[in-house]
Structure 1
Amino acid sequence: MTPIEDELGEQVRRDFKAVKYFPFGNEPGAPFILTSDPFSYLQAWLDNKINRIKRDRKKQRSLLIKAKYFAELAEGFHNSSKEAKMPSKGTLIYYTFINLVKTFLLARNYDLETTMEHHGLSLPSNKKTQLKLTPIGNDGISIFHEFAKTIGVEINNGDGLEIKFDEILRELPEVHEIGYALNLFPNTKRKHLPIDIVIRTNKNRNRIYYTLAYEKKFDKIMKTDKLLKGVFKDKIYPIDCKSDSSKKYFRSNLIFNYTCNSSNSHKRAYKRICDDFKQLSINQMITRNGYRNYLNLEPSRMHRLSATLAFGYYIGTVARYRPTLNKEILKGRYQAVIQEAVSSCPNQFFYLLISHITNQICAIPMAKIE
């Protein structure tokens, strides 16, 4: 046991593996699915699900066959995008995103192909950097709205029908730092706070809770005082940690009994803790060394993956319909951040969304060298 564990509590383990937080609906202590090709893993997972269904009373097999079709489309557009250059690359990236989103919705029992489907977003001809949300009605399915609702942060049209491009970019941890370096978000502070999350237990291993920690250096560049207010105050409170003076630590208000040698108790406890995290707006970044967690200090009305989909829609729509605007954004103030997002966001989107689809933790093998 480390000095920090001795002071704050031992990290919870199941079958000798550390139990870590992930939002994918996975089992506690689930192993990483290491794959250099997440699309191939998704295809294999769908094939396995389809082949295991013998009696299709609820039409799940039919939905999964459709999901496989859209997954194949997504992979095809992705392969084409790797050979393309901007602006055509932007269109292919969006088609990859939207088809993978349809795979996700079908895997969540949405029966697509039965009514009119629309993107849920538009770029008005008199706007340059503002998307418009499609009003929710009874004339079909808005893919953007249904995805947002199902992934966990429902879009509220009552907050306004316009989504500014800056708002979208600020929701993407992948380009957060470069956006501030280029002064694209004046009069705001950085908001994606890197945090360590540890699910802990007491010395008797019969009580479970969690801790959050961040490096003190972020106090100067972020509004970390928000951790003492609002929803954060309802969920966590500050604690001292003498074993580590470089970080600030917080402990969950949530603490409850569990049985450390019971699989059912582990599952119930893990689900309860994951539910507690939902209101804290924690984003994951996949790296070659595993996942990193970021606490969103200023959550907007969009889930991080919804923002990625909106970004794809914007660059794809500009490429198809707005040649003058395309020249402006690719050569103007957004040039570097768009290029960075085009380079880094798709792979993040693939691994994260496929993890949500499969309820597994998909990760990049360390042996993979780009």
Structure 2
Amino acid sequence: MSRTREKRVGEQLHVNERPVKFTYWPILRRGRGRATTQTQVFTNDPWGLIRASLNEIENDQIRTDAEYYFEQSVDFQKAYNNSTSIASKPLLLYYCMMNLVKTLLLKRGFKPSVDEAKHGLQESNSDLSFENHKLVYYRSSGTTSNLFDDFYQFLTNDRLKNRAIIKLSDIVYQILNGHRIMCSSTRSAEKFISLKDITLLNNDDNELWMNFKVEKHDLRRLRVSVKDFLKRTDLKDNFSHVSSDGIYYEFELDTPITHGGWPSDYLEQLSNKLIPPTWVVLSSSKPYRKYYAYMANKSDNELVLPQLASIYAFSFYLSSITRYRPSQFKKIMKSNYSTFVSEFINNQLVQFVYLVASEFAKRDVVKPSIV
């Protein structure tokens, strides 16, 4: 039994008499007015939502460029959907993602131009086996734009070292869709833990914080202690174990955020306490977005990328070997990794597009239930 600290007393946060749910984009600001809470956007056509958002770009040249890259992405997506060849799909998948990322950076004002942007990733010439292969990361400079570095900065407001090494064996386990397939193929322990009942709370002292739960069974079957769970997910920096029952361990934000009577103004700050260590998977049924924490191998100095960056980097790798080393791709598709790679190639794009659509909208974009 792990040691716990005393659980804070409070009630679920309500704004305008509605409970506030955890999200990466909790508020909407218009002008200088107070922040208001946001709801989810349901759509079967995230591409249409992205296309409409480009009209918000005020600069004519930037809007024209964004529309151009967006149309390229759409064309690659159509070719990808119509392709029946596993040999060509990785290339179509990557270029669809690449042009969508270019569009995103222009739309969000991160870059005024992505003309002549380089990939920013390159295969290492060392061991070419799937287990030991590496990618090399290149930073952008004043004269050179490297798209992966720009995307990484956009997602993290940080940068990796120039010519940093990204091990393929790291990023494949960081891809949530197909994770159990990958772990089964390699007989490795799973690294994702589902976060349940993420709840935003407040009290009469105008303090805000959040709690979440983890199923005891999940940690026990992976032989992970509460202490190691917090350490490997980096949640230890902000959260502590505060209670347990027969099913769950409960965790709570250590330091509450004090507000002056307008909690919605501080929701973004609160959400940021949980965003960096979490991944999300989308579904067409409630709760529509399910959150997970990733347990890195701290002893191996595992490089953990943001969810979208790991998907993008692995897509680059598959497109690269498809173009330049088709024999290596064939070898992978005959190995134990083939099921995971097929799952990624055939099903990852839908999740990627919905996640990126949320970045365009700065709001949860989800697929509606079938009625």
With normalisation by structure 2, the TM-score equals: 0.84
Give the superposition deviation at 1:138. 4.6
Secondary structure of the residue that 2:95 maps to in structure 1?
helix
Contact 1:153 1:302 in 2 (8 A): no
**In 2, distance between residues paired with 1:323 and 1:75?**
26
Number of the residue aligned with 2:255: 254
Distance 1:227 1:65, change over 3 A: same
CA distance in 2, matches of 1:292, 1:251: 19
Equivalent pair of 2:209/2:256 in contact (CA under 8 Å): yes
Gaps of 5+ in 2: 1-6, 29-35, 297-301
Distance (Å, rounded) in 2 between the aligned partners of 1:209 and 1:342 = 39
CA distance in 1, matches of 2:205, 2:321: 56
SS in 2 for 1:305: helix
The CA deviation string for residues 53-91 of structure 1, in whole angstroms up to 9 with x for no partner, is 4xxxxxx34323322221221111111101112111110
The change in CA–CA distance for 1:180 and 1:7 in structure 2 (over 3 A counts) is: same
Which residue of 2 is the match for residue 3 of structure 1? none
Q: Cα–Cα, structure 1 residues 141 and 24, in superposed 2: closer, same or farther, change >3 Å? A: farther
**Corresponding residue of 1:151:** 155
For residues 113 and 300 of structure 1, the distance between their equivalents in structure 2, rounded to whole angstroms, comes to 27
Among candidates 226, 229, 234, match of residue 228 of structure 2: 226
Shift of 1:127: 4.4
Are the counterparts in 1 of residues 24 and 364 from structure 2 also a CA contact under 8 Å? no
TM-aligned CA deviation for residue 140 of structure 1: 0.8
Q: Is the 8 A contact 2:37 2:264 kept in 1?
A: no
1:48-63 equivalences under 5 Å are 49-50=56-57, 53=58, 60-63=59-62
- Counterpart AA for 1:283: W
Deviation string 1:225-260 (CA, Å, 9 cap, x unpaired) is 23454843331111125xx53100011112133366
C-alpha separation in 1, matches of 2:311 and 2:160: 17
Normalised to the residue count of structure 1, the TM-score between the two structures is 0.84
Partner of 1:190: 190
Query: In the alignment, which residue of structure 2 is the partner of 1:57?
Result: none
- Alignment size in residue pairs: 341
What secondary structure is seen at the aligned counterpart in 2 of 1:308? helix
Deviation of 1:208 after TM superposition, in Å, equals 1.7
Please point out which of 30, 40, 46 is paired with 2:38. 30
Which stretch of the first structure deviates more once superposed, 228-237 or 192-201?
Answer: 228-237
1:334 paired to 2:337: yes
Shift of 1:333: 2.2
What CA distance in whole angstroms lies between the structure 2 residues aligned with 1:198 and 1:82?
A: 39
Give the CA deviation at 1:18. Answer: 2.9
Q: Distance in 1 between matches of 2:170 and 2:73?
A: 26
The CA RMSD measured in Å over matched residues stands at 2.5
Residue type of the partner of 2:136? K
Identify which of 307, 310, 315 aligns with 1:307: 310
Aligned-partner SS, 2:273 = helix
* Change in 2 beyond 3 A, CA 1:45/1:255: same
Question: CA 1:14–1:157 in 2, change beyond 3 Å: closer, same or farther?
Answer: same
CA contact (8 A) 1:212 1:251 kept: yes
Evaluate the alpha carbon distance shift between residue 213 and residue 124 of structure 1 in structure 2; reply closer, same or farther with a 3 A threshold: same
Given candidates 261, 267, 281, the residue that maps to 1:285 is 281
SS in 2 for 1:118: coil
Q: Is the 8 A contact 1:36 1:365 kept in 2?
A: yes
Gaps of 5+ in 1: 1-5, 54-59
**For 2:149 and 2:359, how far apart are their aligned partners in 1?**
17
**Contact 1:180–1:190 at 8 Å: present in 2 too?**
yes
Per the alignment, residue 66 of structure 2 pairs with 67
After TM superposition, the structure 1 = structure 2 runs for residues 20-169 of structure 1, keeping only pairs within 5 Å, are 20-24=21-25, 26-27=27-28, 29-47=37-55, 49-50=56-57, 53=58, 60-84=59-83, 85-109=85-109, 110-114=111-115, 116-124=116-124, 127-128=127-128, 129-134=133-138, 136-152=140-156, 154-157=158-161, 161-169=164-172
Amino acid at match of 1:147: F
CA distance 1:333–1:235, change in 2 (3 Å):
same
What's the counterpart of residue 294 of structure 2?
Answer: 296
Once residues 23 and 152 of structure 1 are traced to their aligned partners in structure 2, the CA distance between those partners, rounded to angstroms, is 13
**Kindly tell me: are residues 205 and 80 of structure 1, through their superposed partners in 2, closer, same or farther at Cα, counting changes over 3 Å?**
farther
Q: Report the counterpart of residue 11 of structure 2 in structure 1.
A: 10
**Structure 2 vs 1, CA of residues 283 and 222 (structure 1 numbering), >3 Å: closer, same or farther?**
farther
> Closer, same or farther in 2 for the Cα pair 1:113/1:239, shift >3 Å?
closer
Identify the structure with the greater helix proportion: 1
1:153 positional shift: 6.4
SS in 2 for 1:174: coil
Q: Is the 8 A contact 1:153 1:303 kept in 2?
A: no
